Amino acid sequence: MRVMLGSGLADRAIAETRKLGHVKPNRSVQTCVVKRRDKPCLRLIVPDMTSKCRFHLRPARADEFDFVAEIYIAAMRPLMQQLDAWDEPMRRAAIRRSYKAADSRIISRDGADIGWIQVTERDADYNLAQIQILEEYCGLGIGSEIINALLDRAADEGKTVSLSAVRVNRAIGLYQRMGFRVIDPEASPIIDMVWTPASQ
């Protein structure tokens, strides 16, 4: 199982390892209100069933950790191995700490769970912490439609969108085409990127 569209978790993973020495699609969007302890109201992007790519987002559950972890491991293993920074037990522990069901949505298509997204809303921005899709569903525009929906909401609210990616992640090109810019071109192996409403 391989996946496309990496995540900020990989970047935090590498950071931890270094410390140890090592055409927009048609979008129909609704707002889902989720109660959580550290923030009384979190608004998340939930494209409905009119999605051009025929996918659906549903709230993730805490007991779905194994599913999201396997997708994460499958996505990050080849990237981290290229950087000689792969430690599976460490990575599983890292994603267990980072996974927040309240911030996440499971991506499904034709009744099958095919990926997940984790977005954290902050005062001035949205942080796209995770978006991962099983390889057999890549190339259908699902990831692009989800991200574009997030960018539309951010633009309406005057917020930026941030993400991080491993330098060798091929999704960086997609992010740049969407208007994300690299904050520090010399940074390695972690690249921080930002999108602003002016990028539209």
- For residue 86, name the pLDDT band (cuts at 50, 70, 90): confident
pTM: 0.74
In DSSP terms, 3 is beta-bridged to: 134
Helix (H, G, I), strand (E, B) or coil at 188: coil
What pLDDT score was predicted for residue 190? 78
Dihedral sign computed on CA atoms, order 62, 120, 74, 17? negative
Contact 200, 156 (CB under 8 A): no
Q: List the Cα angle 92/95/100 in 5-degree steps.
A: 145
User: Rounded CA gap, 44 and 99, in Å?
Assistant: 16
Please state which CATH class domain 3-156 belongs to: alpha beta
Once rounded to an integer, what is the mean pLDDT over residues 112-139? 92
| All residues at 6 or more sequence positions from 164 whose CB lies less than 8 Å from its CB, including other chains | 8, 11, 12, 190, 191, 192, 193
DSSP 184: -
User: Rounded CA gap, 145 and 139, in Å?
Assistant: 11
Helix (H, G, I), strand (E, B) or coil at 193: strand
- For residue 15, name the pLDDT band (cuts at 50, 70, 90): very low
What pLDDT score was predicted for residue 97? 93
Summarised one tens digit per residue, pLDDT across range 52-72 is: 778 889 999 999 999 999 999
- For residue 166, name the pLDDT band (cuts at 50, 70, 90): confident
What pLDDT score was predicted for residue 63? 95
Q: List the Cα angle 7/69/12 in 5-degree steps.
A: 40
Summarised one tens digit per residue, pLDDT across range 21-42 is: 433 333 333 333 333 333 322 3
Identify which of 106, 120, 117, 149 has the alpha carbon closest to the alpha carbon of residue 36.
120
Domain borders along the chain are 3-156
